[in-house]
């Protein structure tokens, strides 16, 4: 932490000097200034460790809250003004994700999403090739059909996700939602689409330490597994302030 903060201050000093050519510092003077500032930062850190830790934690929390905000890449289910935002990071080949989709999500939708209490976002976190191409198909189908495709693929996961010929399986599912073979092939070949999916995956890893699926982020904070109706209800009611004493 000390090295990081010191480096940041030195970086600011260097940038300020670069923008102010009138300072006329020699390289030796610039190095001396940076060393002096680094020493001051180290002294301050030693004297105020708790304050700095709190500041860093607050900054990290703020960044996480920003990362949890819906973006143009997200397909949002529910009222945009819902007081609670639930994000699921899921892989279409993940058995526990299929369990959530098949057994828990219907309760989530009926009791919380359709009533305007929660807005839900699924973010692709593909763990293998079949899951990646399943995510590509869902994106290719368009936002209006995205969740229909996702829930179909979860419901029939055993039929395609572990099949060596999963690409043909996915193409067949695509046709059910108006995606022709040519459109599916074009989406598969779209490197930008793949990069967007992988970038969101990396963002989840960095911002929320996502390393398994399903993982959930509730109002900007990573939470425990919600892979049962009881856990889901408890967590969402608490977030909504509806827990009974």
Instruction: Express as a percent the part of the chain with pLDDT over 90.
Output: 67
Task: Determine the Cα–Cα distance for residues 202 and 222; give it in Å rounded to an integer.
Answer: 15
For 148-202, the pLDDT digits (tens) are 999 999 999 999 999 999 999 999 999 999 999 999 999 999 999 999 999 999 9
Q: How far apart are CA 115 and CA 118, in angstroms?
A: 8
Q: What is the mean pLDDT of residues 133-140?
A: 98
Can you list the domains of the chain with their CATH numbers?
Answer: 2-67 (no CATH), 76-240 (3.40.30.10)
Place of tokens 């390289």: 27
Question: What confidence tens digit (pLDDT) does each residue in 187-227 have?
Answer: 999 999 999 999 999 999 999 999 999 999 999 999 988 99
DSSP labels, 101-132? IIIIHHHHIIIIITTTSEEEEEEE---SHHHH
Q: What is the mean pLDDT of the chain?
A: 85
Q: Are 45 and 1 in contact (CB under 8 A)?
A: yes
From edge to edge, which strands make up the β-sheet containing 221-223? 76-77, 118-124, 84-90, 215-218, 221-223
Q: Where are the beta strands (DSSP E) in the chain?
A: 76-77, 84-90, 118-124, 215-218, 221-223
Give the end-to-end CA distance of the chain in Å, rounded to a whole number: 41
């Amino acid at each position: 932490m000390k090295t990081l903060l010191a480096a940041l201050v030195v970086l600011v000093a260097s940038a300020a000097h670069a923008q102010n050519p009138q300072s006329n510092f020699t390289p030796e003077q610039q190095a001396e200034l940076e060393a002096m500032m680094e020493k001051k930062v180290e002294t301050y850190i030693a004297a105020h460790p708790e304050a700095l830790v709190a500041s860093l934690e607050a900054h990290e929390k703020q960044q996480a809250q920003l990362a949890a905000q819906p973006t143009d890449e997200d397909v949002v289910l529910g009222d945009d003004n819902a007081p609670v935002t639930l994000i699921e990071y899921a892989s279409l080949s993940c058995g526990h994700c299929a369990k959530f989709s098949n057994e828990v999500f219907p309760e989530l939708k009926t009791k919380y999403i359709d009533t305007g209490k929660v807005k839900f976002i699924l973010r692709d976190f593909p763990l293998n090739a079949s899951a990646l191409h399943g995510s590509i198909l869902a994106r290719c189908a368009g936002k209006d059909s995205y969740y229909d495709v996702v829930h179909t693929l979860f419901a029939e996961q055993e039929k395609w996700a572990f099949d060596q010929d999963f690409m043909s399986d996915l193409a067949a599912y695509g046709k059910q939602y108006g995606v022709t073979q040519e459109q599916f092939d074009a989406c598969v070949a779209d490197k930008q689409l793949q990069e967007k999916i992988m970038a969101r995956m990396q963002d989840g890893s960095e911002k929320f330490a996502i390393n398994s699926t399903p993982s959930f982020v509730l109002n900007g904070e990573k939470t425990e597994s919600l892979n049962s109706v009881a856990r889901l209800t408890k967590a969402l009611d608490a977030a909504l302030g509806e827990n009974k004493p």
